[in-house]
Copies of this chain bind each other. A is one copy, B any other.
Amino acid sequence: MDTVKRTKILQAAIKVFARDGFFNAKVEEIARQAGVATGTTYLYFTNKDDILISIFEEEMVPIIDNMKNNLLRKKTAREKLEAFITGHLTMVREKPDMAQLLELELRQSSKFIHGYNGTKYKEYLNIISEAFILGQTNGEFKKEIHPTIFKQILFGALDQISMNWTLSKSRKIDLEDSADQIIKVILDGIAA
């Protein structure tokens, strides 16, 4: 297994998917940009979906790493969750192409939506629940909220905001601002 060639194909795929979208991207074009024949692609990946999912799994590694390190530096659970929220949105703002791939294109892959047990996806979400559990243990957070549900709530909120920003042509909404608002709502609630 030639790792160099595999990586070349993945890098080409990132470009092509970002430019044309997953659906319109042609495997032939990915191969061309990677400097290999169409068939070669299928020696390294089982199909087009597999290319996309592989991009996800591999791009998530440094993202998860980075996020975990950042949270390590924070003392309270609240600070950790705040760091997750701002960190996620900063990532979306600074790497919009990658964000578009992970947020939008990935969801068009049938294989991803159904039956995909993405380890990296789970790992990313678990950063949230771990911080939350810490907060429950040390008395910062309410005990009656289930960590598994909480991580879905927070991630769902973040994801929706990110997606909207990525989709909006103008991108006039300030993501820093959105981060503050999410923090306020989720951590403090909306009651006056």
Across-interface contacts of A192 in B (CB, < 8 A) = 139-143
Number of copies: 2
Q: Are A108 and B104 in contact (CB under 8 A)?
A: no
Segment of A39-47, A55-63, A154-162 in the binding face: A154-162
Type the 1/0 row for A165-192, where 1 means its CB is closer than 8 Å to any CB of B.
0010000000001100110111111111
Across-interface contacts of A114 in B (CB, < 8 A) = 21, 104, 167
Q: Are A185 and B145 in contact (CB under 8 A)?
A: yes
CB-nearest residue of chain B to A144: B184
By DSSP majority rule, is chain A's interface helix, strand, loop, or mixed? helix
Interface size class of A (residues with CB under 8 A): 35 or more
Q: Given the complex of chains A and B, what is the CA–CA distance between A159 and B110 in angstroms? A: 18
Least CB distance, A102 to chain B, in whole angstroms: 13
Q: Which of B140, B150, B186 contacts A153 (CB 8 A)?
A: B186
Q: Given the complex of chains A and B, what is the CA–CA distance between A31 and B190 in angstroms? A: 49
Q: Given the complex of chains A and B, what is the CA–CA distance between A55 and B134 in angstroms? A: 44
Q: Which of B78, B113, B135, B178 contacts A108 (CB 8 A)?
A: B113
